[in-house]
């Protein structure tokens, strides 16, 4: 169905302010200056700030890694994933079980956690994606719930109590056990995730995803294997989540099923959708909003999800491209 | 109890639970058939139905009691109100998105679902609430089958609703229009069918049935909870897929079948009640692999 929406462009004052703010970053000089200033600031931040700030910032970097993975699935391939916390759990529990039960070194568990995520991704993605893209949404929703139930009821995962005694990673002889260590570790991971996301976006695969997202039939007619490409997006994105889960397990040293609830999947989704699906700065902005808003105003408590849900609805109705969307290149505009 | 007696009992339980699944699955399947939307909020509509039944009974109990007459009155009023809620949701959230990319409308549906259950969570303080129906719980036996008056009335009511819906879909102009829109929306519009009105009616009927299922579940289980719609939403999707999504008799059949599968599944030693939901999810995956068009679906590939 190629029904193009031809709506007159409505620009509210708020939108034009946002636009002009972002247009500022279109200039390369400004953009790189801002980027370097920001990275420099983030590098020296741990020596300036309290543990509390470092904890929040570490959480933010962690969100960036996870949400960039989710962005591959949602933003690049246009598939809705509602059980991302489950893949995150797959990674965390793979590392957790290998480390706490068998004493295997943290770094050696990483490949296994990726393999586990790929297998889970295939089991869910293969039957679903060859049918309809939107079946994936509800099947992943179900998978999220099933994974939580499974880790709650198995013995090897420690049941409802979870796993304790996951070993800290050792990095060139340094055992990572301070919050500042984890701050830098997740900072590096976030940079890595941003880099990989950019490379994927510009790759042949990335272009195929974009094509499928915009027009599935035309893409198929051009010889792109729609199912396979989607499956790649789903599996690569899921592996991102699993790796982040492994690092999460190493940081916390204890994990329980409560860390992998539906609400976590929703928070990741919020971050991706809010900022702008498909665009890396947009996703980073979304993560900042999702991580910082609850920290700033702790008293909203039980209303937090309700507020986020309304934000999601309003964004979808009035600004579906997100706050900081992907700006189409000139040739793609009309 | 001998094995065949257990199985007979589970057959009855399965049909009862399955009829709840079926009633919810019908709305799910109807909406999917007509606008190709996986309505995540449908399970929450079921939950809202249960809570509106609770509110009605709480208000009506001092006046007309909480027995069957007021329960039936409450059922009808709740079905109407929740049906209207479905229409409002459709008008506010889904209709502006009908021509937007699929991803947007899916996220909208998720947002609506979250708004519904979080609102109820805040109002109900997140606690289990006792459903205040005062109906017979004394059991009697037919052979070895243990029954209660409540269970019999519930199962009869559920099947009657399905029958009424079936008549509505097959014998009225509105039902005909719904089936036509499911086939080809654009052509229907050219033929002078008020497509938006029919979509609104679909949402009304689907939501009303889900509300009815919610109230019946309240009577059956005795307690209700703001998150009760989450799992049944998944189950309803599974039921719809088993029967063939978009096909209304399929949704009823799928619901009953899923209810039976679960009831018998809990009797298998390794599965038990703990793994019940995992079991039905496995069935969903199996159906998606081997029979993606469902039991009643035609096996032609989809054309855009």
Instruction: Read off the pTM.
Output: 0.86
First-to-last alpha carbon distance for chain B, in angstroms, is 54
Distance from CA of B284 to the nearest CA of A (A): 8
> Residue B184: closest CA among chain A residues belongs to which residue?
A1
Distance from CA of A17 to the nearest CA of B (A): 24
Distance from CA of A80 to the nearest CA of B (A): 6
Q: Is A194 exposed, middle or buried (0-12, 13-18, 19+ CB in 10 A)?
A: middle
Tell me which residue of B42, B38, B40, B37 sits closest to B98, measured CA to CA: B37
Concatenating the DSSP letter of every residue in A35-90 gives HHHHHHHHHHHHHHS-HHHHHHHHHHHHHHHHHHHHHIIIIIT----S-HHHHHHH
Degrees to nearest 5, angle at CA B185 with A214 and B28? 85
Q: Encode pLDDT of B249-269 as tens digits.
A: 899 999 999 999 888 888 777
Contact A289, A274 (CB under 8 A): yes
Q: How many of the other CB atoms lie within 10 Å of CB of B145?
A: 13
Q: Report d(CA B150, CA B137) in Å as an integer.
A: 7
The pLDDT value given to residue A2: 43
Contact A190, A288 (CB under 8 A): no
Q: Encode pLDDT of B77-130 as tens digits.
A: 999 999 999 999 999 999 988 888 788 888 899 999 999 999 999 998 888 999
The pLDDT value given to residue A299: 66
> Residue B293: closest CA among chain A residues belongs to which residue?
A131
Q: Report d(CA A120, CA B285) in Å as an integer.
A: 12
> B278–A146: do the CB atoms touch at under 8 Å?
yes
Contact A182, A46 (CB under 8 A): no
Answer positive or negative: Cα dihedral of B286, B291, B292, B293: negative
Spell out the long-range contacts of A286-295 with Cβ–Cβ below 8 A and sequence spacing 24 or more: A286/A67, A286/A322, A286/A323, A287/A60, A287/A63, A287/A64, A287/A67, A288/A60, A290/A63, A291/A56, A291/A59, A291/A60, A291/A63, A292/A56, A292/A60, A295/A56
The pLDDT value given to residue B120: 93
Residue B246: left if φ>0, alpha if ψ -120 to 50, beta else—which one? left
Report the share of chain B in percent with pLDDT over 90: 45
The pLDDT value given to residue B1: 63
Give the pLDDT band (50/70/90) at residue B44: very high
Q: Report d(CA A194, CA A287) in Å as an integer.
A: 13
The pLDDT value given to residue A332: 43
Q: Report d(CA B239, CA B251) in Å as an integer.
A: 6
Spell out the long-range contacts of A179-184 with Cβ–Cβ below 8 A and sequence spacing 24 or more: A179/A51, A179/A54, A179/A55, A179/A58, A180/A46, A180/A54, A182/A58, A182/A251, A183/A45, A183/A46, A183/A54, A183/A57, A183/A58, A183/A61, A184/A46
ipTM for the predicted complex comes to 0.83
> A153–B274: do the CB atoms touch at under 8 Å?
yes
The pLDDT value given to residue A5: 46
The pLDDT value given to residue A112: 93
CA torsion angle for A332, A315, A206, A187 (degrees, to 10)?
130
> B110–A79: do the CB atoms touch at under 8 Å?
no
Q: Where are the beta strands (DSSP E) in B138-191?
A: 139-142, 145-148
> B288–A79: do the CB atoms touch at under 8 Å?
no
Q: Which residues in A84-94 are b (16+ Cβ under 10 Å) and which e?
A: bbbbbbbbbbb
Q: What does the block give as tokens for B271?
A: 């599965």
Q: Report d(CA A187, CA A185) in Å as an integer.
A: 5
> B108–A317: do the CB atoms touch at under 8 Å?
yes
Q: Encode pLDDT of B176-231 as tens digits.
A: 999 899 888 889 999 999 999 999 999 999 999 999 999 999 999 989 999 898 88
> B102–A134: do the CB atoms touch at under 8 Å?
yes
> Residue B286: closest CA among chain A residues belongs to which residue?
A127
For residue B276, the Cα-to-chain-centroid distance in whole angstroms is 19
| Beta bridge pairs of residue A190 | none
> A145–B231: do the CB atoms touch at under 8 Å?
yes
**How do the pLDDT tens digits run along chain A, 334 residues long?**
444 444 445 566 776 777 777 777 767 777 778 777 887 777 777 777 787 888 888 889 999 999 999 999 988 888 888 889 999 899 999 998 888 888 788 888 899 999 999 999 998 888 888 877 778 888 888 888 888 888 888 877 777 777 877 778 777 777 777 777 888 888 989 999 999 998 998 899 999 998 888 888 888 888 888 889 999 999 999 999 999 999 988 888 888 888 888 888 888 888 888 877 888 888 888 898 888 877 776 666 678 788 888 888 888 888 777 777 655 544 444 3
| Beta bridge pairs of residue A163 | A255
> A309–B103: do the CB atoms touch at under 8 Å?
no
Domains of chain B (ranges, CATH numbers)? 3-133+148-290 (1.10.3470)
Residue B99 sits at φ, ψ, to 5 deg, of: -105, 5
> A305–B288: do the CB atoms touch at under 8 Å?
no
Report the share of chain B in percent with pLDDT over 70: 97
Contact B281, A146 (CB under 8 A): yes
> Residue A214: closest CA among chain B residues belongs to which residue?
B101
Q: Does B88 touch chain A (CB under 8 A)?
A: no
> B277–A149: do the CB atoms touch at under 8 Å?
yes
Domains of chain A (ranges, CATH numbers)? 50-325 (1.10.3470)
Distance from CA of A1 to the nearest CA of B (A): 7
Helix, coil or strand: residue A19: helix
Q: Report d(CA A211, CA B191) in Å as an integer.
A: 34
Contact A323, A286 (CB under 8 A): yes
Q: Report d(CA B281, CA B121) in Å as an integer.
A: 26
The pLDDT value given to residue A325: 64
Concatenating the DSSP letter of every residue in A199-266 gives HHHHSHHHHHHHHHHH-HHHHHHTT--HHHHHHHHHHHHHHHHHHHHHHHHHHHS-B-GGGG-HHHHH
Identify from A139, A142, A159 which residue to disrupt to test chain B contact, counting B C-beta atoms within 10 A and taking the largest count.
A142
Q: Does B97 touch chain A (CB under 8 A)?
A: yes
The pLDDT value given to residue B167: 92
Which residues in B lie closer than 8 A to residue A137 (C-beta atoms)?
Answer: 38, 40, 106
For residue A307, the Cα-to-chain-centroid distance in whole angstroms is 21
First-to-last alpha carbon distance for chain A, in angstroms, is 18
Cβ neighbours of residue B290 closer than 8 Å, sequence gap 6 or more: none
The pLDDT value given to residue A328: 52
């Amino acid at each position: 169905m190629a029904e193009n929406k031809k709506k007159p462009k409505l620009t509210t004052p708020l939108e034009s302010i946002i636009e002009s703010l972002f247009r500022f970053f279109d200039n390369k000089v400004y953009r790189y200056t801002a980027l370097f200033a920001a990275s420099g600031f983030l590098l020296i931040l741990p020596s300036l700030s309290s543990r509390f700030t470092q904890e929040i910032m570490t959480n933010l970097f962690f969100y960036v890694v996870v949400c960039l993975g989710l962005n591959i699935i949602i933003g690049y391939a246009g598939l809705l994933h509602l059980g991302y916390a489950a893949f995150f759990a797959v990674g965390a529990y793979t590392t957790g079980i290998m480390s706490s039960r068998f004493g295997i070194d943290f770094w050696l568990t990483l490949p296994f956690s990726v393999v586990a995520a790929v297998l889970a991704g295939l089991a869910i993605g293969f039957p679903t994606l060859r049918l309809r893209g939107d079946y994936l949404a509800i099947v992943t929703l179900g998978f999220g719930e099933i994974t939580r139930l499974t880790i709650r009821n198995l013995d090897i995962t420690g049941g409802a109590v979870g796993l304790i005694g996951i070993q800290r990673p050792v990095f060139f002889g340094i055992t990572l056990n301070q919050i500042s260590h984890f701050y830098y570790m997740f900072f590096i991971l976030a940079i890595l995730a941003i880099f990989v996301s950019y490379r994927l976006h510009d790759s042949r695969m990335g272009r195929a995803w974009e094509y499928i997202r915009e027009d599935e039939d035309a893409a198929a007619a051009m010889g792109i294997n729609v199912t396979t490409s989607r499956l790649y997006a789903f599996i690569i994105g899921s592996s991102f989540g699993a790796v982040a889960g492994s690092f999460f397990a190493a940081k916390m040293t204890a994990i329980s099923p409560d860390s992998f609830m539906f609400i976590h999947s929703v928070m990741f989704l919020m971050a991706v959708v809010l900022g702008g699906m498909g665009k890396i700065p947009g996703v980073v902005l979304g993560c900042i909003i999702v991580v910082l808003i609850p920290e700033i105003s702790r008293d909203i408590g039980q209303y937090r999800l309700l507020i986020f849900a309304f934000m999601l609805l309003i964004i979808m109705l009035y600004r579906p491209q997100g706050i900081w969307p992907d700006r189409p290149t000139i040739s793609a505009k009309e | 109890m001998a094995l065949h007696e257990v199985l007979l009992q589970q057959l009855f339980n399965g049909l009862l639970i399955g009829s709840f699944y079926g009633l919810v699955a019908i709305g799910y399947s109807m909406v999917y058939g007509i606008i190709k939307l996986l309505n995540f909020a449908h399970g929450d509509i079921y939950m809202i139905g249960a809570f509106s039944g609770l509110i009605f009974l709480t208000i009506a109990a001092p006046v007309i009691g909480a027995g069957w007459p007021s329960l039936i009155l409450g059922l009808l009023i709740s079905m109407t109100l929740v049906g209207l809620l479905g229409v409002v949701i459709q008008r506010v959230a889904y209709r502006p998105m009908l021509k937007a990319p699929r991803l947007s409308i899916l996220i909208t549906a998720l947002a609506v679902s979250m708004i519904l259950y979080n609102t109820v969570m805040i109002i109900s303080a997140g606690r289990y609430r006792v459903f205040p129906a005062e109906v017979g719980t004394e059991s009697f036996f037919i052979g070895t089958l243990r029954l209660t008056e409540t269970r019999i009335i519930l199962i009869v009511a559920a099947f009657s609703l399905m029958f009424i819906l079936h008549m509505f879909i097959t014998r009225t102009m509105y039902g005909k229009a719904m089936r036509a829109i499911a086939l080809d929306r654009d052509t229907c519009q050219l033929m002078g069918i008020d497509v938006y009105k029919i979509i609104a009616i679909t949402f009304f009927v689907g939501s009303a049935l889900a509300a009815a299922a919610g109230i019946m579940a309240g009577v059956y289980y005795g307690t209700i909870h703001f998150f009760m719609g989450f799992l049944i939403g998944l189950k309803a999707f599974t039921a719809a897929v088993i029967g063939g999504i978009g096909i209304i008799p399929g949704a009823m059949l799928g619901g009953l079948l899923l209810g039976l599968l679960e009831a018998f599944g809990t009797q298998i030693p390794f599965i038990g009640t703990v793994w019940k939901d995992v079991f039905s999810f496995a069935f969903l995956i199996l159906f998606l692999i081997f029979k993606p068009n469902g039991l009643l679906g035609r096996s032609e590939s989809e054309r855009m």
